[in-house]
């Protein structure tokens, strides 16, 4: 209500000043100077009143600006006892102060909340100014982690742990790294991540410190266990057919010793079998050495090889085991001159894995059969296919078989197929699977 009254009062003063000035001008033009004696004081009074109002308004504004400058939002401007013309101004100041007071309270609450969270987390937090290294924030977790009760600047860290200081200062925003922290009693691994932000014209760098020593030790232990499991699995896959072939050769040698006249071709068979055992043993040693450094391999021992030779070597190696289990191995190779560029030892290991898995899949079939084939596909890639008429796999299992350490077998390690995929990736190729539950499975290796 008083807003309208105030507005009307301002309008009235302006109109009154306009009218008096207009009348004064008229009297001056007509030469009625006597009447100017009466009007002049009125004009002076109106101008003085307007000047006084402006002075009061400026004084009120100065007080408000002062309260904002010192963040004194608790100050209250008395509206009830103020002059009518200043009441709207004071009420506006009070509303602004109330709004700032609420915002300041919310900001302080958020700051306290964030501060408590940062103190509760296990991750160490360090924030400092980039231009001079002044530390502006360091939570309790970091103090306990580094055994530092106080850190004035990040450069002070160099006196305690120069290597960690170097890692922290060289870490760029957005990057992460593993660093080693040293205390008086021990050392431990830290995962460092950095970010940067700018406020009030100053650039700040924020570093997060996470102790990962225990996690790394546990991971390393599991990695060694899994490596041993992988090596055992692969060695057993190669040793089993070698042992079976050796047993067959022993039996043939006994027959030859007893009745040499009936075994005219035995010497050739013995020579071929021993050569197969020798070659596969050397391949197994090569595989063990290669797998040990698998993560360091950048080039393979690539050679142009005939697929027919690859299939022949695999047949000689696996035939005794297949005969014992009464499993038929059918080889289909329409183009005997088909070649591919590969590491022979690693590729043989992949084929052994796939054939051993196929043998496991068909063991309960009445007429177990494995088909080994190769062809040149329309996409200009050489494909080797290992198919069986076994039990097949459900769709949810097919999606997981290449995941390391996933296995559907009770005694399986779940690393054979993942290793096959890894070897194929080293050859810039891939391996795919098609399976129909109850009908069979086929693995396709594309080069």
pLDDT class of 2 with cuts at 50, 70, 90: very low
Report the DSSP beta bridge partners of residue 209.
124, 192
- State the Cα–Cα distance between residues 77 and 86, nearest whole angstrom: 10
Rounded Cα distance between 358 and 277, Å, is 22
Buried b (16+ CB within 10 A) or exposed e, 95-108: eebeeeeeeeeeee
Domain boundaries, the chain: 2-104, 120-215, 234-294, 303-446
Helix (H, G, I), strand (E, B) or coil at 65: helix
Do 303-446 and 120-215 fall under one CATH topology? Answer: no
pLDDT of residue 83: 66
Rounded distance between C-alpha atoms, residue 35 and residue 384, angstroms: 121
Encode 131-156 in three state secondary structure: CCCEEEEECHHHHHHHCCCCCCEHHH
Task: Band the pLDDT of 44: cuts 50, 70, 90.
Answer: confident
Q: Positive or negative CA dihedral for 342, 345, 346, 352?
A: positive
Q: Average of pLDDT values for 160-188?
A: 84
- Please give the angle made by the CA atoms of 352, 356 and 357, to the nearest 5 degrees: 120
Task: Give the residue with greater pLDDT, 250 vs 119.
Answer: 250
pLDDT, tens digit (0-9, with 9 covering 90-100), for 235-269: 766 677 777 777 777 777 777 666 666 555 566 66
> Alpha-carbon distance 266 to 272, whole Å?
10
State residue 260's pLDDT score. Answer: 62
For the stretch 198-237, pLDDT in tens is 877 788 898 888 887 655 555 555 655 665 666 666 676 6
Which residues are CB-neighbours of 114 under 8 A, at least 6 positions away? none
* Residue 371 binned pLDDT confidence (cut-offs 50, 70, 90): very high
Tell me the β-bridge partners of 137: 127
- DSSP symbols for 319-357: HHHHHHTT-EEEEEES-TT-EEEE-HHHHHHHHHHHHHH
Q: What is the token pair recorded at 288?
A: 């063990």
CATH of 120-215, one of 3.40.50.300, 1.10.150.120, 3.40.50.9100, 3.30.450.20: 3.30.450.20
CATH class of 303-446: alpha beta
On the 0-12 / 13-18 / 19+ scale of CB atoms within 10 A, 113 is: exposed
Two tokens, residue 265: 């071709």
């Amino acid at each position: 209500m008083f807003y309208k009254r105030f507005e009307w009062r301002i309008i009235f003063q302006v109109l009154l000043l306009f009218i008096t000035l207009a009348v004064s001008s008229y009297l001056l033009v007509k030469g009625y100077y006597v009447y100017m004696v009466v009007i002049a004081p009125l004009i002076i009074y109106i101008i003085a009143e307007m000047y006084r109002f402006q002075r009061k308004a400026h004084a009120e504004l100065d007080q408000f600006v002062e309260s904002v400058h010192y963040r004194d939002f608790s100050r209250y401007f008395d509206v009830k006892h103020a002059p009518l013309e200043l009441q709207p101004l004071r009420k506006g100041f009070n509303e602004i102060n109330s709004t700032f007071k609420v915002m300041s309270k919310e900001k302080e609450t958020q700051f306290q909340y964030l501060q408590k969270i940062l103190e509760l987390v296990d991750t160490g937090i360090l924030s400092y100014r980039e231009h001079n290294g002044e530390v502006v924030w360091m939570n309790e977790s970091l103090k306990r982690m580094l055994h530092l009760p106080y850190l004035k600047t990040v450069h002070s860290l160099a006196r305690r742990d120069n290597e960690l200081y170097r890692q922290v200062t060289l870490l760029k925003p957005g990057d992460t790294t593993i660093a080693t922290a040293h205390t008086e009693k021990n050392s431990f691994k830290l995962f460092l991540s950095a970010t940067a932000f700018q406020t009030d014209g100053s650039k700040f760098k924020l570093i997060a410190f996470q102790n990962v020593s225990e996690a790394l030790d546990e991971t390393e232990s599991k990695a060694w266990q899994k490596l041993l499991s992988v090596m055992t699995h692969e060695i057993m896959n190669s040793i089993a057919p070698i042992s079976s072939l050796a047993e067959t050769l022993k039996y043939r040698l006994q027959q030859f010793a007893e009745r040499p006249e009936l075994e005219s071709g035995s010497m050739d068979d013995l020579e071929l079998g021993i050569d197969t055992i020798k070659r596969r043993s050397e391949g197994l040693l090569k595989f063990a050495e290669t797998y040990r450094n698998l993560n360091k391999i950048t080039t393979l021992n690539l050679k142009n090889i005939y697929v027919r030779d690859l299939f022949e070597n695999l047949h000689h190696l696996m035939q005794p085991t297949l005969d014992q289990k009464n499993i038929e191995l059918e080889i289909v190779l329409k183009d005997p001159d088909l070649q591919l560029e590969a590491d022979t030892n690693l590729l043989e290991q992949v084929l052994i894995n796939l054939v051993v898995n196929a043998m496991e899949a068909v063991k309960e079939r009445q007429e177990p059969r494995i088909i080994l084939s190769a062809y040149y596909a329309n996409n200009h890639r050489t494909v080797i296919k290992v198919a069986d008429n076994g039990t097949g796999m459900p769709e949810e299992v097919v999606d997981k078989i290449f995941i390391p350490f996933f296995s559907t077998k009770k005694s399986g390690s779940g690393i054979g197929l993942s290793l096959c995929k890894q070897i194929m990736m080293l050859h810039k190729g891939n391996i795919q699977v098609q399976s129909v539950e109850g009908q069979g499975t086929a693995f396709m290796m594309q080069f």
